Amino acid sequence: MTAADYLPPRLSLTALREASAGCRACPLWRTGTQTVFGEGRTRARLFLVGEQPGDREDELGRPFVGPAGRLLDEALAEAGIEREDAYLSNVVKHFKWQPRGKRRIHQKPNASEIAACRPWVEAELAVISPRILVCLGATAAQALLGRGVRVTRDRGRALESTFAPVAFATVHPSSILRAPDDESRRRERELFVDDLRVVAAALER
Ligand code: URA
Ligand code: SF4
């Protein structure tokens, strides 16, 4: 089974969001509190996609509203992109985690969970039909741009995609938060903003 079995007959963001709330196409519906669907304007020219909701997103039911989302907001603003002008989503819509003490620690979705969930983000892409697709991190990049994409090698340059005329891959904002020290965090953040500046320039064209 995949999310394709849950797609509504007619694709609109409202119908997709409603249908996704009842998705049980993979075991993660039991782990997450709720389906965290994408959000943003239907006419967005820019589509940003991450891996899966985190702890805060799981609670609030909205993408990129936790620490990684804050970093993303700031980086977008520095690059001259308004979050309101973009559509934000994830390739996997339920939070996968393991308990550690009182905390819920993020776990990477596996290949079958990603394959099961991908029809949701593909449907969002079909409805929005963005000019530019930006994959945040290797999970999103490999799920949507192909297994051969390497974020470290391919970041910040235009890539081919069936989902948008232009696509980019860059790091996931969470990876910047995990940098081992302040200096590398500052450097990683600057490189991330540089990648987003390339996206901003492409949006201007
Ligand atoms: N990380 C993601 O990939 N997506 C979110 O929505 C939040 C954190
Ligand atoms: Fe459905 Fe995706 Fe949630 Fe799995 S993670 S149950 S495929 S919405």
Residue 103: count of CB within 10 angstroms of its CB: 10
CA angle 175, 179, 184 (to 5 degrees): 120
Atom 7 (ligand 2): residue with closest C-alpha? 117
pLDDT in tens, the chain (205 residues): 999 999 999 999 999 999 999 999 999 999 999 999 999 999 999 999 999 999 999 999 999 999 999 999 999 999 999 999 999 999 999 999 999 999 999 999 999 999 999 999 999 999 999 999 999 999 999 999 999 999 999 999 999 999 999 999 999 999 999 999 999 999 999 999 999 999 999 999 8
Which ligand places an atom closest to the C-alpha of 65? 1
Pocket test for ligand 1, best of 51, 56, 93, 105 (most atoms within 8 A of CB): 51
User: Cβ < 6 Å from ligand 2: which residues?
Assistant: 3, 20, 23-26, 28-29, 35, 92-94, 113, 116-117
Candidates 49, 82, 74, 45; CA nearest to 193 is 74
